[in-house]
């Protein structure tokens, strides 16, 4: 490499460095209207049932506009209704058992136990008299060992039966154990949860639109058996409209969330829409190739989301738009007509 060529390359490098320094650090910040290029975001949601079943009704078709809460399709509900009826019957059975244990024994049952105790007391008293008589006659000619043994056995049996009746009366008066009552309460709670689940499954047999939009695709037909989460409709969310665009790093300070912007499509004679900046990305990224800009393709940009109300539905998803932003004048900058 000759000395002249080496000097020329050094001069070119110095010039490029000086130009880059001026571009990034000395060049005055742009002012005035800011024009950005963007597209209407594609916002779609795949809708499917939360439960499995056979499709009985499809209430909308492709191209239909739907509203939030609208029933789009329904499954056959007979199986869900039967499951709910069964769960309710089991719940009622557990509720009756819990109420029985909580209330304790009926007064009639307690009275019956007391009567049995009285009967056993009378039996024991009679057996005791018979035993004493046999005991007094044991050493006389009128008595015998067998008579004495039978009377003694009868007395012991009557005494044991009386103790058993008294224990039964105590249990009747005390009612059921706390552990049994707690178990019955837990079983009732389980059945109530089963009823809630069955009721939810019945409700989920209807496919509800989560928000307003337009049906893009009808994937399944009446009579098809679908699994939970299997797509039945593809819905385009149209309200509000989101526009995606990008702003360069140098222009980032000229915009802020909530700022009003103007949007226009490429349609000849198309109307101008008013929107607001709803989101500014906190992370820089390289300019997407789909964004037309006069800056270098490798320049860092920040993604914007602009929210637009379009009740008439003229803005179509994916449509290119031109966004015009008129930043407020910087503080201290003279404004025409203002002293």
Two tokens, residue 128:
């005791």
CA end-to-end distance (rounded Å), the chain: 64
Between the alpha carbon of residue 104 and those of residues 164, 174, 178, 245, the distances in Å are 20, 8, 11, 73
Q: What is the pLDDT of residue 85?
A: 97
Q: Which fold has domain 30-44+239-325?
A: Elongation Factor Tu (Ef-tu); domain 3 (2.40.30)
Q: What is the pLDDT of residue 47?
A: 96
Q: What is the pLDDT along the chain (339 residues), one digit of tens a residue?
A: 566 667 666 766 666 666 555 555 555 555 578 888 888 888 889 999 999 999 999 999 998 999 999 999 999 999 999 999 999 999 999 999 988 888 776 677 777 778 888 888 888 888 888 888 888 777 677 767 778 788 888 888 888 888 888 887 777 666 667 888 889 999 999 999 999 999 999 999 999 999 888 999 999 999 999 999 999 999 988 778 889 988 888 888 888 888 999 988 888 877 888 899 888 888 777 655 555 454 444 467 888 898 988 777 788 888 898 898 887 765 444 433 333
Return d(Cα 59, Cα 49) in angstroms, integer: 14
Q: What is the pLDDT of residue 337?
A: 34
Question: 217-253, pLDDT tens digit by residue?
Answer: 999 999 999 999 999 999 988 778 889 988 888 888 8
Q: What is the pLDDT of residue 137?
A: 77
Q: What is the pLDDT of residue 335?
A: 37
Q: Report whether 114 contacts 108 (CB < 8 A).
A: no
Two tokens, residue 72:
């789009």
Return d(Cα 36, Cα 53) in angstroms, integer: 49
Q: What is the pLDDT of residue 225?
A: 95
Q: What angle do CA 324, 273, 62 make, to 5 degrees?
A: 125
Two tokens, residue 228:
């939970």
Q: Give the residue extent of every domain in the chain.
A: 1-29, 30-44+239-325, 45-75+206-236, 83-199
Query: Quick one: CA torsion of 73, 77, 83, 88, rounded to 10 degrees?
Result: 90
Class of domain 45-75+206-236: mainly beta
Q: What is the pLDDT of residue 48?
A: 96
């Amino acid at each position: 490499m000759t000395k002249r060529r080496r000097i020329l390359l050094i001069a070119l490098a110095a010039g490029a460095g000086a130009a880059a320094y001026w571009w990034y650090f000395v060049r005055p910040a742009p002012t005035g209207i800011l024009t950005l290029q963007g597209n209407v975001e594609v916002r779609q949601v795949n809708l499917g049932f939360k439960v499995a079943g056979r499709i009985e009704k499809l209430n909308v078709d492709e191209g239909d506009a739907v509203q939030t809460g609208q029933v789009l399709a329904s499954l056959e509900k007979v199986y869900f209704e039967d499951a709910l009826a069964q769960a309710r019957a089991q719940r009622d059975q557990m509720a009756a058992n819990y109420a029985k244990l909580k209330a304790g024994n009926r007064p009639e049952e307690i009275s019956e136990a007391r009567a049995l105790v009285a009967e056993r007391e009378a039996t024991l008293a009679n057996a005791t008299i018979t035993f004493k008589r046999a005991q007094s006659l044991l050493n006389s000619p009128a008595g015998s060992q067998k008579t004495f043994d039978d009377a003694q056995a009868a007395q012991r049996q009557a005494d044991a039966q009386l103790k058993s009746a008294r224990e039964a009366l105590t249990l009747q008066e005390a009612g059921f154990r706390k552990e049994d009552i707690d178990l019955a309460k837990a079983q009732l709670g389980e059945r109530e949860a089963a009823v809630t689940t069955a009721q939810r499954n019945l409700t989920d047999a209807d496919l509800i639109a989560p928000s307003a939009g337009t049906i893009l695709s009808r994937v399944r037909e009446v009579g098809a058996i679908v699994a939970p989460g299997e797509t039945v409709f593809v819905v385009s969310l149209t309200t509000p409209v989101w526009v995606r665009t990008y702003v360069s790093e140098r222009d980032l300070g000229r915009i802020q969330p909530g700022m009003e912007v103007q949007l226009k499509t490429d349609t000849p004679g198309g109307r101008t829409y008013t929107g607001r900046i709803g989101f500014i990305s906190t992370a820089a990224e390289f300019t997407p190739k789909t964004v037309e800009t006069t800056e270098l393709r490798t320049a860092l940009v920040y993604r914007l989301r602009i929210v637009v109300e379009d009740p008439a539905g003229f803005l179509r998803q994916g449509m290119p738009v031109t966004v015009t932003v008129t930043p407020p004048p910087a503080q201290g900058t003279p404004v025409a007509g203002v002293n």
